[in-house]
Each structure stands twice: as structure tokens, then as C-alpha cells.
Structure 1
Amino acid sequence: MANENIRFRIASQDDTMALKQLIESAFRAEDSRRGWVGNADLASRFSIEAENVANVIANPDSTFLMASDTNGTLLGTVGVSKHDPDSARLFMLAVDPQCHRGGIGKQILTHAEDYCQRVWCPKVLGLNALSSREALISWYMRRGFRKTGETSPFPREEFKDLDLPDDLHFVEFVKTLTPAS
């Protein structure tokens, strides 16, 4: 269900703490859908430094796009970055846990794709997902992303005290974009 009342804007440094809080709450959220969260212990420990959020906003080749309702309540966000002249990358797609299953993630993803095409004109858009998040991987595939066959390592050293699967990694995805006419 599309919410016609979502407003999008580019984040400013003043949004750093609100984005940090939203991203952490979204990544820590419990969800009953099988395979959506992956490892609950890992999800419950997710954190991002405010400095990392601020650095993304300050970088001229990246930002966070923010989705809010008409009252200005932050509903979700996604990071976007220019990877090279032919590709852009999405990261940290996060939706307020109270808004899950409402179609907001799909709208944010669509807006991010449009934004990247307007600003950088990439041929492809990349992203990754944690290998244990089966439902999220399927969700990205339904949105036109395909697995590249490549993976990137999970930072196990940051979670030494957790019993994580040996094969935990990030699955890399790409989506070919149609040039804007």
C-alpha cells in the first residue's frame, strides 16, 4: 500500500542523531517473519556511530535520503553513494519498526533509485544484505536486484562473543538501471 503523504528530503548534519536512532531501532527490531531478521542476537547489538552518519552526510558523493510523513515524523531512510562513474550504491535502508509492512521500504527504495539516476546517472545500482536475512534477500530480488555471485566478509571481530554461523557474510546485489529519458 503506497502512502501518498510521504515527503523525501536530503539529510543535513542536524539530522545525524535522528538518523542514528532510526537506523539502530530498525536494525534491532524484532520481526516474526522467518528469515527477516536473521540472527536475533546480532540484530539486538547493531549500532552505528553518529560520526559515521555525519561523515556520509558530509561527503559530496553520498548522503542519507529521509522519508517523513506530512507532520515531519521520520519514517525511514536510506544511504546513497556514487561508487564510480557507472555505479551507485545503496546502504542502511531502514524503516521505523512501527511502520514495517506498510510499503514504506519499497517507496524509499524506489525514491533512492530515482535520486541516483537523476544525480549521478549510473548504469547499475549495488547493495548488499546479510546472508542470514533470507526474507530480505528475497525482497530485494522481487525489486529487480540480482545476486552478483560475489560476497563480502562480515566483521566477525566486532562480535567475538556471539555464536555466529561460520558462513555468515554479505551477499552482493546489482540492478541494471534504465537510462532516464
Structure 2
Amino acid sequence: MNELNFRVATEDDAAQLQQLVESAFRAEDSRKGWTDDLGLSSTFRLDVQEIIAMITKADSVMLMATSNENTLVGSIGSSKRDANYARLFMLAVDTSQQRGGIGRQVLAYAEDYCQRTWGVTTLGLNALSNRKQLISWYSRRGYKMTGETTPFPREKSGNLVLPDGLCFVEFEKVLGIAPAEQAT
């Protein structure tokens, strides 16, 4: 596994981040259940202005992971919600680099960043309810389902026919506790 370099994104990075996130979210994958079977990836769009808003918002960051060649290979967003809680969002890995442990490293760095920088003790994130393998992946990283769900923004999916129960499954992780301890 290559050594990654991490830094906080600036407005100058917005276009590059937009390309990474869009390509990662649109990627096709042969593993059943890893990417959606609903055609959502083909309709996913992210405006550069949305990335700039995340970068410039107070208590919000986009973290970038670059290879030793200074090539962007992964990113994740985070926003502090209160003194003890932050949300992670839009974890993305370059499609040519997936399955190499980069996502795990980016997630771990974001957890450490939130704890060091903001002093938070709990992180939250969500995953699309039909992404069973992604849900399992987050569970193996120590995230526990809260039992809560968030509605899927159907207005952003165009004319796609989506299952009635499609939603985001909410997760939380208490920082400083090993994944094996959280499973009990």
C-alpha cells in the first residue's frame, strides 16, 4: 500500500475534487451490491460551487489524499455539528486505485483529523440502504447503525424508478474505541 499525503483542500482544488467525486460515484463495479443497480450513478452530478461551499463553510473541510507523485487519489468531507459530533460525507477514491486500502486510510485520517482538530468524540455518516457491502464495510470500520434513516432526495434522480424504501442508513462511531469493542 502506497504512502499517502493528506491536506485540507482549498478553493483551487474544487474542480479536481469535483472530478474525483463524480468519477468515483459513477464508477461501475463487478461486485454485486457494491455499487447501486438502480442507475443512480449515471445521474449523479456535483457542481464545483457545491465543493467550494463545503471548502469555505466554517467548521467544514474537504480532506485530500495524494500519492507520492502528488496525484489526487482520495477525498472525504467533514463538518463539525457540535462540540462532540462531526459528520463525514462523500468518501471518494480514484477508480483506478480502488480495492487497495486507500478508502480505509482516508476514513482513518478523517477520524483522526476530526478528533485532533475539533475535539469531537463521535462521528456520523450514512450509506444508501441498497449498498449492503458498503454498509458492511462501514460496520467493519467500527460504525454502528443508529436505527435512523434519512429520506433519499428523489427529486435529484430524474426519471429513474426507485424502490419505495430507498433511503440513507445512519451510522455513528464513538472515537477512541476499537471496532471489536464497539461490536459488543
Band of TM-score, shorter chain: over 0.9
Residue range with higher mean Cα deviation, 96-105 or 33-42: 33-42
Which segments of 5 or more consecutive residues in structure 2 lack a partner in the other structure? Answer: 178-184
1:19 Cα deviation from its structure 2 partner: 0.3
Count of matched residue pairs = 177
Aligned to 1:65: 63
Aligned to 2:182: none
Of the three residues 98, 103, 106, the one matched with 1:100 is 98
- Output the CA distance in 2 between the equivalents of 1:90 and 1:174: 10
Which segments of 5 or more consecutive residues in structure 1 lack a partner in the other structure? Answer: none
The alignment status of 1:130 with 2:128, answered yes or no, reads yes
Aligned to 1:29: 27
**Letter paired with 1:144:** G
Give SS of 1:170's match.
strand
Of the three residues 66, 82, 85, the one matched with 2:83 is 85
The alignment status of 1:157 with 2:155, answered yes or no, reads yes
- Output the CA distance in 1 between the equivalents of 2:115 and 2:45: 30
Aligned to 2:4: 6
Identity %: 55
Of the three residues 117, 121, 129, the one matched with 2:119 is 121
Give SS of 1:19's match.
helix
Give SS of 1:53's match.
helix
Give SS of 2:133's match.
helix
1:112 Cα deviation from its structure 2 partner: 0.3
Of the three residues 142, 148, 164, the one matched with 2:140 is 142
- TM-score normalised according to structure 1 size: 0.95
1:60 Cα deviation from its structure 2 partner: 2.3
- Output the CA distance in 2 between the equivalents of 1:39 and 1:172: 21
